[in-house]
């Protein structure tokens, strides 16, 4: 069993890749039948804010910090009118707190001004909010609104998809939107949200950035980076 020190691309047709992706999906369902968003939330607004706070942070930290913010500023209007310095202080532990505080207050101001204080439920509207790109929008649409409009491509999903060679972007390997398009081609639409959550769990538990545990990975027989096609 090889460890994924080098990403290997198997010679396979698009149909073969699709069929391998379906097997990977089945393997993920066996491993993580209940995979879901790890950010605690009770509304679309809370999920949106927590997702903004989660960039470059951990879900554990966000789950500690966000309730303090929501207790003091329960609505989009409250957050839109909050002092930036106060928001910065509350969310400080999540990192990049100045930029995040701006994104939180400005996106809430836009939600109040353009959507009557309610988080919109379409990709087009969500990505217009300050600090919200496709990844965050996909989290909200898939997790809260239960719409499979796309695949959440965070650092875990992008890394695992490359190692498993169900995307192959070479010099564009950091381009989350291109990776998302590749994944949307090989994963059935109804599973897009589940697939994202399950890949994130597998990235945390088994296929870490620094040391993928290929020896204990039940997906290894489907993964070219573990030598499955050598
Ligand atoms: S998915 Fe499994 S086999 Fe493939 S690189 Fe990650 S840990 Fe190794």
Q: Residues with Cβ within 6 A of ligand 1?
A: 4, 160, 163-164, 206-207, 212-214, 217, 219-220, 223, 225-226
In this structure, the answer to whether residues 59 and 87 fall within a common structural domain is: yes
Task: Tell me the mean pLDDT in the region 127-149.
Answer: 95
Give the distance (Å) from ligand 1 centre to CA of residue 40: 28
Q: Is the separation of the CB atoms in 87 and 66 below 8 Å?
A: no
The secondary structure element, H or E, covering residue 31 is: helix 14-31
Q: Is 78 in the active site? A: no
Q: What is the pTM of this model?
A: 0.90
Instruction: List, for residues 50-107, the tens digit of each pLDDT value.
Output: 999 999 999 999 999 999 999 999 999 999 999 999 999 999 999 999 999 999 999 9
The reply to whether 131 falls in a domain is no
Of 93 and 171, which is predicted with more confidence? Answer: 93
The answer to whether residues 108 and 63 belong to one domain is yes
CA dist 139 and 120 (Å) reads: 13
Q: What pLDDT is stored for residue 169 in this prediction? A: 72
Burial class (CB in 10 A: 0-12, 13-18, 19+), 167: buried
Last residue of a domain, one of 118, 136, 164: 118
Instruction: Name the one residue in this structure whose structure tokens are 């707190």.
Output: 97
Would residue 19 count as lying in a domain?
yes
Nearest CA to ligand 1 atom 4: 223
- 159 near 203, Cβ under 8 Å? yes
Q: How many domains does the chain have?
A: 2
Residue 145: inside a domain: no
Within 10 A of 89 (CB to CB), how many other CB atoms are there? 12
**95 is a domain residue:** yes
Count the Cβ atoms, other than its own, within 10 Å of residue 144: 18
Give the residue from 151, 153, 154, 183 showing the smallest Cα distance to 167. Answer: 183
Provide the pLDDT confidence category of residue 4 given band limits of 50, 70 and 90: low
Q: Which residue of 7, 32, 225 sits with most ligand 1 atoms within 8 Å of its CB, as the best mutation to test the pocket?
A: 225
- The structure tokens 């949106």 sit at 48
C-alpha 219 – ligand 1 centre gap (Å):
7
Q: Nearest residue CA, atom 5 of ligand 1? A: 4
Residue 211 tokens read as 């040391």
State which of 74, 98, 118 marks the end of a domain: 118
Show the domain range for 80. Answer: 44-118
* Residue 49 shares a structural domain with residue 99: yes
Does 154 participate in catalysis according to the annotation? yes
Mean pLDDT, rounded, of the chain: 93
The last residue of one of the domains, among 68, 100, 118, is 118
């Amino acid at each position: 069993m090889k460890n994924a020190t080098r990403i290997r691309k198997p010679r396979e047709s698009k149909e073969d890749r699709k069929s391998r992706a379906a097997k990977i999906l089945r393997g993920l369902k066996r491993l993580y039948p209940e995979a879901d968003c790890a950010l605690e939330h009770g509304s679309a607004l809370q999920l949106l804010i927590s997702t903004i706070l989660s960039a470059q942070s951990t879900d554990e930290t966000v789950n500690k910090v966000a309730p303090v913010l929501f207790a003091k500023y329960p609505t989009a209007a409250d957050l839109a009118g909050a002092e930036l310095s106060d928001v910065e202080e509350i969310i400080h532990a999540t990192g990049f707190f100045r930029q995040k505080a701006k994104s939180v207050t400005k996106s809430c101001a836009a939600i109040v001004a353009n959507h009557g204080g309610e988080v919109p439920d379409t990709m087009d509207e969500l990505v217009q909010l300050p600090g919200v790109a496709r990844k965050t929008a996909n989290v909200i649409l898939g997790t809260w609104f239960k719409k499979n409009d796309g695949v959440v491509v965070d650092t875990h999903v992008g890394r695992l998809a490359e190692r498993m060679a169900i995307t192959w972007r070479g010099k564009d390997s950091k381009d989350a939107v291109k990776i998302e398009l590749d994944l949307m081609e090989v994963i059935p639409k109804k599973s897009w949200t589940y697939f994202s959550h399950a890949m994130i769990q597998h990235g945390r538990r088994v296929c870490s950035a620094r040391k993928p545990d290929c020896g204990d990975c039940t997906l290894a027989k489907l993964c070219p980076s573990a030598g499955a096609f050598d």
